[in-house]
Amino acid sequence: MKYALVTGGSRGIGRAVCLKLAEMGFSVLVNYQSNKTAAEETKSLVEENGGTAELLQFDVANGAEVEKVLSVWQETHSDDYISVLVNNAGIRKDNLMFWMSDDEWNSVLDTSLKGAFYTSRALVKYMMNKKFGRIINITSISGVNGMSGQTNYSAAKAGVIGMTKALALESARKKVTVNAIAPGFIDTDMTKDLNQDELKKLVPANRFGKAEEVAELVGFLASEKAGYITGQVINISGGL
Q: How far are the Cα atoms of 19, 52, 73, 86 from residue 57, in angstroms, in the given order?
A: 18, 17, 11, 15
Cα distances (Å, whole numbers) of residue 48 to 1, 2, 139, 218: 19, 19, 29, 21
Show the DSSP H helices in the chain as ranges: 12-23, 36-48, 63-76, 102-109, 115-130, 141-145, 151-171, 196-199, 211-222
Instruction: State yes or no: is 81 an active-site residue.
Output: no
Q: Give the other-Cβ count within 10 Å of 18's Cβ.
A: 31
CA distance 66 to 122: 8
Q: Which of 3, 32, 118, 153 is catalytic?
A: 153
Paired with 16 in beta bridges are none
Length of the chain: 240
Active site residues: 153
